[in-house]
Structure 1
Amino acid sequence: MKYKRHILLTTFVGLVIVILISFSKKKSNIDDKVIYYVADNNLEDIAFYWKDGSGNVIGSIQNLKTMIAKDNKELVFAMNGGMFRADNSPQGLYIDQFKTVIPLDTSSAEGNFYLKPNGVFYITSNNTPFICKTEDFIDNGHVKFATQSGPMLVINGEIHPDFKEESTNLHIRNGVGILPDNRIFFVMSKAVVNLYDFANFFQSYGCKNALYLDGYVSRAYIPEKNWMQTDGNFGVIIGITAPMRSE
């Protein structure tokens, strides 16, 4: 009888501990304001796009869909991939298929891009994703794709120190983080949010590092969630493709 009571007590204590841990886990207050896509870089074909084969800026998600369809591919996911200038050229580092198209921007100026630390999201030759501060980025010749943006949202597990929890600076936003299992976490807000809450969402999912990509111009194409924005006029677009399915 004592043994049974001991087992029951141990089980009860275990359940209490599990419940306490679940309640102590960090929560985000914008869960219903965001949409996200988790990309498995080892299983999915992820690429960065800026210009087509003729040297013309792709610009929109619809144009990307049309372009890849010519190669019998379909779009699984897409999102604008960083800030850009008036001519749609990437603002800051852009590496495409191991070639540095735009060099790293280490200068200082006004605007979100230059809110230090800013950072780089890149994928290596073995499809490993990384996000690092601009000052820590090194191109060792194995960087397949890279886009620079800013500011960093989460840095080594901590929210950017300049973000204010009750900030009234509200915008549509999109960003990218690396999950604890090394999958890529693409997020866009469906409603206006501040930078602190947006960064906190990444942190709540365990992202040690996350990078802001852009603001009100942001678009995402996630057909598996019935979210299909195909307009826009961007610089870099991050896309995931798959062989076109037969009808």
Structure 2
Amino acid sequence: MKELTDSKNETLKFAMNGGMFIKNNMPKGLYIENYQKLNEIDTLSGEGNFYLKPNGIFYITTSNDYKILTSENFRFNSEIKYATQSGPMLIVDGKVNSIFQKKSKNLNIRNGVGILKNGEVVFAMSKKEINFYDFAELFKNLGCQNALYLDGFVSRSYFPQEKWIQEDGDFGVMIGVTNKN
């Protein structure tokens, strides 16, 4: 990703994998890039974290508003600039997803995204293994009204300002923040 931003005369300030992927690093579920729908929404049932209900969609609009909705409530429109689907939702309307258990032994590295009441975005990644409930509580305690789990043990972050630089791994979707040089 850094090579791409360098070629556009931008500085990569932050990056994180932004959802699950399937064969050939194709995004799992809905994926929209530069207003182009490159992969369809997945509302099927199945096994794995992606299919834990509700799953959701993180997206950015033309006016740079950030949103997270459950997949059931999402409606495609021409104002959506970028979108990625993942699951499960961590926080829905200010409440921790009811399928999570407080003392769960389902521990893993996890990353996710949340939206604060003022519309700002929060990205988080655990440095140690954590269960879904405790990870969701982090977003709730920060004041997020909605939050979405992005991925697990393959999660990586690039945040040089905080001396957190992980440049290995395979990903289907990357989320980045850049500045023009």
Query: What is the aligned partner in structure 1 of residue 85 from structure 2?
Result: 148
Residue in structure 2 matched with residue 23 of structure 1 by the alignment:
none
- Which of 25, 36, 40 aligns to 1:88? It is 25
| Alpha-carbon distance, 1:86 to partner | 2.3
2:146 corresponds, among 202, 209, 214, to: 209
Aligned position for 2:117: 180
For residue 72 of structure 2, give the secondary structure of its aligned residue in structure 1: helix
Q: Which runs of 4+ in 1 moved over 6 A?
A: none
Number of the residue aligned with 1:117: 54
Normalising by structure 2, what TM-score?
0.98
> Which structure shows the bigger proportion of residues in helix conformation?
1
TM-score by length of 1: 0.72
The Cα of 1:243 is off from its aligned counterpart by: 2.2
Deviations 1:104-151 (A, max 9, x none): 111100110000100000000000000000000011210000000000
Please state which structure has a larger fraction of its residues in strand.
Answer: 2
Query: Of the two, which has the highest radius of gyration?
Result: 1
> What letter corresponds to residue 146 of structure 2 in structure 1?
N
Letter in 2 for 1:126: S
Alpha carbon RMSD of aligned pairs, Å? 0.7
Match of 1:238 in 2: 175
State the Cα distance separating 1:231 from its structure 2 match: 1.4
How far is the alpha carbon of 1:212 from its aligned partner? Answer: 0.3
The counterpart of 1:79, out of the listed 8, 16, 27, is 16
State the Cα deviation string for residues 18-63 of structure 1 (Å, max 9, x = none). xxxxxxxxxxxxxxxxxxxxxxxxxxxxxxxxxxxxxxxxxxxxxx
Give the letter aligned to residue 175 of structure 1.
G
TM-superposed CA distance for 1:225, in Å, is 1.0
Task: Give 1:107's aligned residue.
Answer: 44
Name the structure 2 match of 1:225. Answer: 162
1:198-233 per-position Cα deviation (integer Å, ceiling 9, x unaligned): 000000011010000000000011111111111111
Q: Letter of the aligned partner of 2:105 in structure 1? A: T
Give the aligned partner of residue 36 of structure 1. none
Match of 1:163 in 2: 100
Q: Distance in 2 between matches of 1:105 and 1:234?
A: 18
Partner of 1:5: none
Aligned residues: 181
